[in-house]
Amino acid sequence: RRQLLIHGARAVLRWVERKDDPTSRWAMALKGRRHTNVAAVALANKIARIAYAVLTTGQPYDPAMGAWVKP
């Protein structure tokens, strides 16, 4: 359900300052630009797209491909 993805994304957003992976850097930058609720929904969308790609392709998740931060 969408609500559970957003709930999980909110939990992730509380910890992004302590992480240094590409997705955390993307989420921290987004959190700085947008309202926290908007950032949570955007992160939930990213998580859903990653999960869909993993399930449909059968390939393992590659964190290096998980986030592209625009300079």
pLDDT tens for 4-38 read 999 999 999 999 889 888 888 889 999 999 999 99
Tell me the three state secondary structure of residue 69: coil
Dump the DSSP string for 10-48. Answer: HHHHTTGGG--SHHHHHHHHHHHHS-HHHHHHHHHHHHH
Does the pLDDT at position 55 exceed 70?
yes
Dihedral, CA of residue 2, residue 47, residue 27 and residue 36, to nearest 10: 0
- Taking alpha carbons only, the member of 33, 38, 31 closest to residue 14 is 31
Contact 24, 14 (CB under 8 A): no
The whole-number pLDDT of residue 32 equals 93
